[in-house]
């Protein structure tokens, strides 16, 4: 998606450890009018899939998921990383390793909000090694719901998360695919 690639080239910063920082429009400050336009692409791609629910993971997935859900007219359920008394009753859980925070999380979704009749679109900001996405898939599968696919803002195709998930037969649509990234700049697929 050229609109998004241009914005990444303009405002993305490559930090220590070859980390792409897009905190000025994706995951700390969220440029809502821009991301509202960007997420319309997820609607275009998945509009015939009879999506009933958007699933994401806190925290940086939530904003993008809500903007996407507004295009579909469906609810969002976000997996939580901490036990909380906001969630009542039984939960589905999965393990995810966060490379950002360098530790394991248990993520959880209340059983109340996913059912076998749901057709789920999973939304997240990044796909790299696939730890979050495979954990979300595991939660949705445990509920017996159907995954229609995943919508990702930025995929790093030089890491293997995308291949792992596509090899599972899951449709993955990434709006910007980064083939390589170093001090010389960013190359998209």
The binding site for its own copies (CB under 8 A) comprises 13, 15-17, 19, 21, 23-25, 27-33, 35-36, 54, 58-60, 62-63, 65-67, 69-70, 73-78, 80, 82, 84-88, 100-101, 109-110, 112-113
With contact defined as beta carbons under 8 Å apart, do 109 and 145 qualify?
A: no
Query: Measured between alpha carbons, how far is 83 from 78 in angstroms, rounded to an integer?
Result: 13
Count how many Cα atoms sit within 13 Å of the Cα of residue 92 in the half-sphere of its side chain: 21
Nearest approach, Cβ of residue 179 and its own copies (Å): 22
Query: Measured between alpha carbons, how far is 161 from 131 in angstroms, rounded to an integer?
Result: 7
Nearest approach, Cβ of residue 189 and its own copies (Å): 23
Tokens matching residue 99: 């490379």
Q: Which is nearer to its own copies, 18 or 95 (CB)?
A: 18
Q: Which is nearer to its own copies, 28 or 166 (CB)?
A: 28
Nearest approach, Cβ of residue 168 and its own copies (Å): 26
**Which residues make Cβ contacts (< 8 Å) with residue 147, sequence separation at least 6?**
120, 122, 137, 140, 141, 170
Nearest approach, Cβ of residue 152 and its own copies (Å): 16
Query: Measured between alpha carbons, how far is 13 from 24 in angstroms, rounded to an integer?
Result: 10
Phi, psi of 111 (to 5 degrees): -60, -25
Q: Which is nearer to its own copies, 49 or 58 (CB)?
A: 58
Nearest approach, Cβ of residue 165 and its own copies (Å): 22
Q: Which is nearer to its own copies, 86 or 184 (CB)?
A: 86
Q: Which is nearer to its own copies, 126 or 175 (CB)?
A: 126
């Amino acid at each position: 998606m050229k609109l998004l690639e241009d914005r990444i080239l303009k405002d993305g910063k490559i930090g220590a450890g070859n980390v792409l920082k897009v905190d000025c429009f994706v995951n700390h400050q969220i440029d809502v009018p821009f991301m509202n336009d960007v997420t319309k692409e997820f609607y275009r791609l998945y509009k015939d899939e009879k999506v009933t629910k958007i699933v994401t993971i806190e925290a940086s997935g939530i904003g993008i998921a809500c903007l996407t859900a507004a295009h579909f007219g469906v609810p969002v359920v976000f997996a939580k990383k901490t036990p909380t008394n906001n969630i009542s009753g039984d939960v589905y859980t999965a393990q995810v390793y966060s490379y950002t925070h360098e530790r394991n999380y248990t993520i959880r979704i209340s059983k109340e909000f996913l059912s076998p009749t749901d057709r789920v679109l999973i939304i997240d900001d990044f796909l790299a090694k696939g730890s979050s996405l495979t954990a979300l898939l595991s939660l949705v599968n445990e509920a017996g719901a159907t995954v229609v696919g995943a919508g990702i803002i930025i995929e790093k195709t030089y890491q293997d998360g995308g291949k792992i998930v596509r090899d599972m037969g899951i449709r993955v649509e990434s709006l910007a695919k980064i083939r390589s990234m170093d001090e010389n700049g960013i190359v998209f697929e």
